[in-house]
Amino acid sequence: MSVMKSEEAVSPVIGTILIVAVTVILAAIIASFVFGSAANIQKTKIVSTTVQLDPDGSTITIMYQGGQDDGSLTSLIITAPDGSLRYTGGDGSVLVNVPPTPPVKPIIGAPLKLVGSWPSPRHVLVVGSFGDGADQVITDAFV
């Protein structure tokens, strides 16, 4: 007469506990990566500009409106429709391809004018530079 023996090495309960433990450990590792990367995100600055095409069709006026983070803004960098870089001057002027040294903050309400003949649509990009070293797109417009 022969006796049947079970040859399973691990019971189903132990197997289930091991699977749950591995799942919890993987979830903890993934969570540490996800929540750890949030520390590198910078706070969004709050300032604004408006961009409009003047009736003559060749002048684009950019108006700096200020905002909550106006105190930390150091300068505006404007990409004109032809791709050239323009920088704000202290008197509200726009300097072409020559950044002022030191950077100059625009005057609130002073119009910054870009004059030229650009094909439609005219793409204008305004980037703000801030005292903490951050750069942020303020306006990305087609006029």
Question: 62 with 106, same domain?
Answer: yes
| Residue 135: inside a domain | yes
- Number of alpha helices (DSSP H) and beta strands (DSSP E) in the chain: 1, 8
More confident residue, 77 or 99: 77
Same domain for 69 and 138? yes
Q: Would the pLDDT of 18 be above 80?
A: yes
In a domain, 96, yes or no: yes
Q: Are residues 106 and 69 in the same domain?
A: yes
Neighbours of 21 (CB within 10 A): 10
Average pLDDT, the chain: 85
134 in the same domain as 79: yes
Query: Above 70 in pLDDT, residue 39?
Result: no
Specify if 133 maps to a domain.
Answer: yes
Mark whether 29 and 68 lie in a shared domain.
Answer: no
Question: What residues have CB less than 8 Å from 90, skipping those under 6 apart?
Answer: 100, 104, 105, 107
Please count the structural domains in the chain: 2
Whether 36 shows a pLDDT value over 80: the answer reads no
Provide the residue range defining the domain that includes 30: 10-41
73 assigned to some structural domain? yes
Give the pLDDT confidence score for residue 20 in this predicted structure: 94
Evaluate whether residue 4 is within a structural domain.
no
CA angle 141, 87, 82 (to 5 degrees): 50
Higher pLDDT among residues 110 and 69, named by residue: 69
Residues 70 and 125 grouped into a single domain: yes
Residues 99 and 138 in one domain: yes
Looking at the fold, whether 104 and 53 belong to one and the same domain comes out as yes
Hey, how many other C-beta atoms are within 10 angstroms of the C-beta on 15?
A: 12
Q: Does a structural domain hold residue 2?
A: no
In this structure, the answer to whether residues 124 and 106 fall within a common structural domain is yes
**Which pLDDT score is estimated for 52?**
93
Which range among 5-14, 24-33, 93-102, 132-141 shows the weakest confidence by mean pLDDT?
A: 5-14
pLDDT for the residue numbered 9: 65
Residues 6+ apart with CB under 8 A from 131: 72, 73, 74
The answer to whether residues 89 and 95 touch, using CB atoms and an 8 Å cutoff, is yes
Using one digit for the tens of pLDDT, what is the confidence trace for 111-128? 888 888 888 889 999 999
